Each structure stands twice: as structure tokens, then as C-alpha cells.
A and B are shown apart, each in its own frame.
Chain A
Amino acid sequence: MSKFPKLTLTASIAALVLAMPAWAGSYGLGRPALPEEIAAWDVDVSPDGTGLPEGSGSVEDGEAIFADYCAICHGDFAEGVDNWPKLAGGADTLDHEDPLKTVGSYWPYLTTTWDYVHRSMPFGNAQTLTPNEVYAIVAYILYSNDLVDDDFVLSNENLLDVEMPNAEGFILDDRETSEAHFWTAEPCMTECKDTVEITMRAAVLDVTPEETRAKKVQELIRRTRPEPSREDVKAPAAPADQPAAEAVANAEVDPALAAAGETVFKKCKACHQVGEDAKNKTGPILNGIVGAPAGHADGFKYSKAMQEAAEGGLVWSDAELAAFLAKPKSYMKGTKMSFAGLKKDEEIEAVIAYLKSFQ
């Protein structure tokens, strides 16, 4: 090495230059983003229409797509199911008590609706809609809000022409002027008011979760008096679903397969519950589904297609369930289940094994 000091030095300078990136950054960390990568991730849409892809969709098409992918949470007429967002209605309610804020009554830009549906919906299966499907869904949401007629077709050409009723309904943060009186360096310390009355009590409403309600607190006080040391408060019950234990209890189920199925089931959890405390959510409760007749969950509003299948005597055998899970929409046209399907057979087998552990 020391024999050729000059050469070594030159070589290391060359190596250093090669290692330095071509861009301005002073650390030279990271690498240039490729156009394909930027195209894949940079899909946001601005109020001036920047980012809107070419395409179009009709109210009519939108109605069908909405029924398939959106209605399960947002209702057939975008009126909202349970606590899920209502997308239609609420016109002229913004100055009322409890205003109804929907795309029609509140959203200032239609680009926002397109962008949000495209990037973040359907819930649990995001970024699967084509641009044309998104145009159609947005057209249907506009129709549900009485903002367009039933023959309307929305496209990248006319999206900015749609007038949003609340477009002018926003002002910039004005707290520093409208609330300037809150900047009072010397607040009142004594004789700030003559009388004080209790005007409202939370206990009257009693909407606090059970565990911490007043009764519990009274118990705590009773138990801890007169001993000053604080007793331990009972820990909350362990989570209800303990699939591992239940899987072992069911001799037919391969525990390893059921465990793999539990991972697969994460894809289903946005809509379905299993286990002791399971309830119908966006989708029906799935305890005992394997081997059960179709439409067996009490109190769940099944699609017409599922009701018909149930009347036809469909039973969820391993084979039927596997076929359904592979491609729900092809297996049963008109099902509410807005899930694209499980691609791998082993995933289907595993999730069925997992479901069997909840009989």
C-alpha cells in the first residue's frame, strides 16, 4: 500500500466522487425516485383538478357500483348505516343544532370526494377501484344529493363544473381576531362572579362507558375507606376471542392451520367478528358459519341475493365457502360483501379452519 501512495490517493478520490450523488443535497443520502414510483404513489387530486385521471362514469353505473361496494356502510341511498358516515342530505342544516354534514351539504370541493373515494375507499379494500368506477360512484353521490339528474355522466372534463353548495361556506382561521379578547394578560383572580350554579351534570346523561360509571367510583371509595391505602382496581376482563384455546378444544381443527387462518382473517375483521362477544357489524357474525345454512346470523340484513340463496337451501360447506371466498362477486352476484376475494387456496383453507374453531 505504502509503495504507491499517489495511486492509492487518486483511486480513493475517484471512488469518493463515484459515491457522491448528482443532486444538491448535502448528505447524499437516499436515491432518486423513479417516474413509475412517483406515478404509483402521487395520486392526490387538487382543487384545480391537477391529478384527475381521464375517465368517466354515469349515475346509472354508479348506483350499481355503490350498491356493491359502498351501500353496506353508507346505505343504498348514501343515507348512512348505523354510525357510518351519511353522504347525502343535510342541505341548509349547517346553522341548525346538530348540522348534517355530507358531500352535498358541506364538502367544498368535488375533487376531494373523488380523491378520497379513489385512495381510501372501499373501507377494508382501499385503492382497488378503477378511475371510471370512481367517477361513477361520485356521480351517484351527487345524484343522491339532488345535485345532478339521473342521466348525468361525470368525467375529468366536467368535474370542476359541478357546483358544490357549500363551496363558499369556509373562512380562514380567524381566532386571533375574533377571539382576541382571550389574550388577557391579567385574568381575574378574586370576585370574578357573584354566584355559581351547576347548570348541567354528566351523570344525568350517563353516557360514560360502564366500567367507569359513578357506581364503580362509589365502590372504590367504599372499599378504600377507612384504610388509606388504595386497593387494586379489578383489571378488565381478558379479550374475549382467544382462538388458540378454542381451536384446541375443537378436535377437528388443525391448530397450526387455524392459527394461520387467524392471520388471514385480519382481512375480514373490518366487517366481521367472531368469538364470545362477537356482534353483527358491517358483515354478519361468523360463529358457526362452517356447515350452517346461508343467512343464519340473527338480526343481520342480508342482501337479496343471499336471502334467495338461503331460501334455495344453500349450506356453507367447506367447498361452498371456499368457492365464495375465492371470488365473492362471481360466486354470488349481488352480495353485499365488498371484498375482492382470497387469491391463494391455502389462505382459504386456513381461514375456514380458523372459522371452524368458533362453532
Chain B
Amino acid sequence: MSESSGKKGASRRQFLTSVAAVGAGAVAAGAARAAAPDPLITEVQDWARATGDGVDATPYGLPIEYEGDVIRRNVEWLTADTISSINFTPIHALDGTITPQGCAFERHHSGAIALKKEDYRLMINGLVDQPLIFTYADLERFPRENHVYFCECAANSGMEWAGAQLNGAQFTHGMIHNMEYSGVSLRTLLEEAGLNTAGDLSDKWVYVEGADASSNGRSIPMEKALDDCLIAFKANGEALRKEHGYPVRLVVPGWEGNMWVKWLRRIEVMDGPVESREETSKYTDTLADGTSRKWTWVMDAKSVVTAPSPQSPITHGPGPLVITGLAWSGRGAITGVDVSVDGGQTWQPARLAAPGQDKALTRFYLDITWDGSEMLLQSRARDASGYVQPTKAQLREVRGLNSIYHNNAIQTWWVKASGEAENVEVS
């Protein structure tokens, strides 16, 4: 917000100058008068006459039926079976930064399991002074912390490596959610079991494993484990949803979602990585020459315009238009987002809704007067480490087309005069 607000006036004027030719038309449309009185106003409506639901109608509320299209969706052809698959957050229809749990994307390897708190056990073993077992009730007695973090699947935008494929921000960028977690730091639990036995911690690892049938497990360097990892049991104030690992999941801020082990059942201190299936055959990034990067844990800075976008077209015609989107970085806070309406020829700083937070989603806005002509809409994030979100061409130059994971390239929406938008690539 701070650095963008200063330039806002100038850039907005600059933009208006460029659309001056049709500006008059837009203004006229904006001031259009109603031809006849609106019956929604002049006639007494049912909802203004009769009464609504009582307080006992909905003990736990769901979104109103009119929002029935704001749901997770999956892409059937992506995987063999929905039990080992992924769905996508409807980011095109959300605002703010917190993702409601009910529409936050899911990724399971053997389906979402129902595990009761009473049946929950967490084991810490390996190179610790005393291997321990915690119940859920035990976890609730450790000092608790609250943090907001984004969780992004490393495969988010993975279908777009070879070219524009899916028509919608939900599908191209929806493997992400952002929640406020309550839980205990992993450090606290490791120290409870004691790390003297481990000796020099600089070359030690922590292996974390889930209780579901996939037994998803990942190795995390001790430095990260002791830094900011969280054993979370609440998200956005309430218990985790089944699909997000109820009753306990691991939060690994800024790092790829696969490491955020759900239904966390075991933490093992080790002297090396396990090199499990999910950190060798998957979640490794193959380069053009056939060699593959491994341990690419950090999620690079990234952003996307969520509206207008293919699933959120402009429905109001020319005039005032809110361009909005999300930005995030696994390396720290977002420091700025630039938006281009001409496919990257010129950029203007967007307004951040709030100063960027460490490893959390940032909402940005660019309020323009749309002249009704085509736009090639892009956004470009910058983070606290000085990293600038690259173009697809820049990314492909280094990584080729076969990386699958970690595609953080700039996205382009071709917004047409009709208000429709399409996922495209530009030169």
C-alpha cells in the first residue's frame, strides 16, 4: 500500500489519457437514467413483508443458495481417480485474503479420512532424548500460537507449463488457500522430547508422516522444523475440516503444500532425509536437459488477477472497473504488485489492500475506468527478498517445459470487448 499509493494518481491519469477517445461514452453509460421506476423499490417485496428464518433454522450455516456456484471444482482428466486427486479453490469468486475452509482446495493421496480426536495419537521418535506419544488433549495444553499462512500445492499452474490450457483462475491458480492457524510450534514438541541425543542439529532432519493409507511422508531440514513450522488443529477459528487433516495437520510456511502433512501421526528426528516417494519420484522438477531439481521446497513469488478472469467476466460494460487479484511469496511478504492491461508493455502499481504479510496472501486492487476495449491483463508480484515474478518465457528459458511443479509465471487474461476473458499466452 505504502509504495503504491504515491504513484497511483499519476498512473491513473496516464491511463485515462490513453482511453480519452472513448472516455466520453463510458461516462455517459455510467450516468444512464432509469427508464421506469424499479419495481424492486416501488412494490413491497415478499422479504419486506413476511418474516425470515428463526435462529434455530441453521445451527451451522452454509453460504446462501445464491452463492451455489462458489465451490471447489476438479478436473476429471487430470487424475485416474478422485480419491487420489486434487480440486481447486474458487479464487475467481472470493475477495479479501482468508479462504473459507469449505471451499479451500483439497489434495489427497488416498482420500480424506475420518479420524476422531479420541483416536488421534502423535508420536515423536528417532534421535530424541525420550520418544513420546501425545493425545489430542495433550497438544491442547502446550502454549499456542496463531498465524496466517498460504498453502500452495507445488503443482499449482502445473498444467500451464507447456501452454495455456485451462480457462479460469480457479483451475490455473486455485491449488492455494490462506488460513489463520492455531496450534503449537513444532519446535515446542521437539524440545519436549529433547534434542540432546541428536547432537549437532545443523545436519539433522525431521521426517513427518500422515495417518491415512497413503502414509504421505516428507523430510524437513531441522533448521526449518525449528523455525516456523506449526502443529495446527484450528483453521480460521474452528477445527480443521476432515479434508484438511482433522484433527491435526502440519503447517510448513512458505513451502510446498505436499509437506503440510495432514492427519499428522509421526515426527521422527533423523540424520538424513528418507527420500520418500513424494520427495523423489514426485515434487522434483525435471529440467530441459533431463536432470531434475530436488528439495525445491520454497514457493516462489506469484500473483494472479482473479477478476476479471474467464470465470468472472466483466458484466457491466464500460466505466468503473475493479481489477483485483492475489499475490504471495514463500520467501516473505509481498512488497508490491504491478498490473499491466497491455500484455506487459507498460505496468502500473496496484493498491495493496493491506501491507503484505509474511508468507500469506496479499489482496491487490487496481481501480480503472474501462473504455470497453480489449485488454491483455497481467499481474506481477515482488517480494521482500527482491524477487520479481518472471514471465513464462523467462521461466521456460531456465527450466524448459517439463518441470510440472513450481510454475510461478505471470498469467495473461485476454479480456475482450464483450467482457469475456480467456487464458492466453503472449509474446
Q: Which residues of A contact B (CB under 8 A)?
A: 22-27, 29-33, 37-38, 41-42, 44-48, 73, 82-84, 94-95, 97-99, 101, 103, 106-109, 111-112, 115-116, 119-120, 123-124, 126-127, 169-175, 178-179, 181-185, 187-203, 205-209, 211-214, 217-218, 220-221, 224-226, 228, 230, 232-236, 269-270, 281-282
Question: Which residue of A73, A97, A224, A282 contacts B315 across the interface (Cβ within 8 Å)?
Answer: A224
13 CB < 8 A contacts A-B: A23-B194, A29-B134, A83-B79, A123-B213, A124-B213, A169-B292, A175-B296, A188-B347, A202-B424, A212-B167, A214-B167, A214-B422, A236-B71
B346-376, CB under 8 A of A: which get 1 and which 0?
1110000000000000000000000000001
B176 to A: closest C-beta gap in Å: 18
B79 to A: closest C-beta gap in Å: 6
Known interface pairs A170-B293, A232-B68; A32-B422 also in contact (CB < 8 Å): no
Known interface pairs A189-B346, A202-B166; A23-B193 also in contact (CB < 8 Å): yes
Specify which chain B residues have a CB less than 8 angstroms from the CB of A175 in the assembled complex: 293, 296, 298, 300
Known interface pairs A25-B194, A213-B167; A30-B132 also in contact (CB < 8 Å): yes
A131 to B: closest C-beta gap in Å: 16
CB of B2 closer than 8 Å to a CB of A: no
Task: Tell me the bound Cα distance from A140 to B315 in angstroms.
Answer: 58
Specify which chain B residues have a CB less than 8 angstroms from the CB of A200 in the assembled complex: 163-164, 424-425
Question: Which residue of A26, A190, A194, A202 contacts B347 across the interface (Cβ within 8 Å)?
Answer: A190
Task: Tell me the bound Cα distance from A183 to B389 in angstroms.
Answer: 9
Q: Would B346 and A179 count as touching, CB distance under 8 A?
A: no
Q: Would B138 and A29 count as touching, CB distance under 8 A?
A: yes
Given contacts A23-B193, A94-B290, A232-B67, 8 further A-B contacts (CB under 8 A): A44-B274, A108-B280, A112-B277, A175-B298, A185-B386, A202-B165, A203-B422, A212-B168
Q: Would B427 and A196 count as touching, CB distance under 8 A?
A: yes
Specify which chain A residues have a CB less than 8 angstroms from the CB of B322 in the assembled complex: none
Pairs of residues from A and B, 3 with the lowest C-beta to C-beta distance, nearest first: A235-B68, A95-B290, A23-B130
B265-286, CB under 8 A of A: which get 1 and which 0?
1101010111111001100101
**B window 223-266: CB within 8 A of A:** 265-266
Q: Would B165 and A207 count as touching, CB distance under 8 A?
A: yes
A-B contact count (CB 8 A): 319
> Which of A32, A209, A211 is the most central at the interface, judged by chain B CB atoms within 10 Å of its CB?
A209
Q: Would A23 and B75 count as touching, CB distance under 8 A?
A: no
Specify which chain A residues have a CB less than 8 angstroms from the CB of B215 in the assembled complex: 119-120, 126-127
Q: Would A23 and B132 count as touching, CB distance under 8 A?
A: yes
Question: Which residue of B300, B345, B414 contacts A191 across the interface (Cβ within 8 Å)?
Answer: B345
Specify which chain A residues have a CB less than 8 angstroms from the CB of B423 in the assembled complex: 201-203
* Interface residue stretch chosen among B52-60, B145-153, B394-402: B394-402
Q: Would A41 and B277 count as touching, CB distance under 8 A?
A: no
Known interface pairs A111-B275, A190-B347, A212-B168; A184-B291 also in contact (CB < 8 Å): no
Task: Tell me the bound Cα distance from A282 to B81 in angstroms.
Answer: 9
Q: Would A112 and B276 count as touching, CB distance under 8 A?
A: yes
Task: Tell me the bound Cα distance from A51 to B119 in angstroms.
Answer: 26
A17 to B: closest C-beta gap in Å: 18
Specify which chain A residues have a CB less than 8 angstroms from the CB of B167 in the assembled complex: 202-203, 206, 208, 212-214
Specify which chain A residues have a CB less than 8 angstroms from the CB of B80 in the assembled complex: 73, 82-84
> Which of B192, B209, B300, B423 is the most central at the interface, judged by chain A CB atoms within 10 Å of its CB?
B192
Task: Tell me the bound Cα distance from A200 to B414 in angstroms.
Answer: 11
**B window 149-207: CB within 8 A of A:** 163-168, 170-171, 191-194, 196, 207
Q: Would B79 and A30 count as touching, CB distance under 8 A?
A: no
Q: Would A208 and B168 count as touching, CB distance under 8 A?
A: yes
Specify which chain B residues have a CB less than 8 angstroms from the CB of A103 in the assembled complex: 281
**B window 110-160: CB within 8 A of A:** 110-111, 123-126, 129-135, 138, 141-142
B65-99, CB under 8 A of A: which get 1 and which 0?
11111010111110111011000000000000000
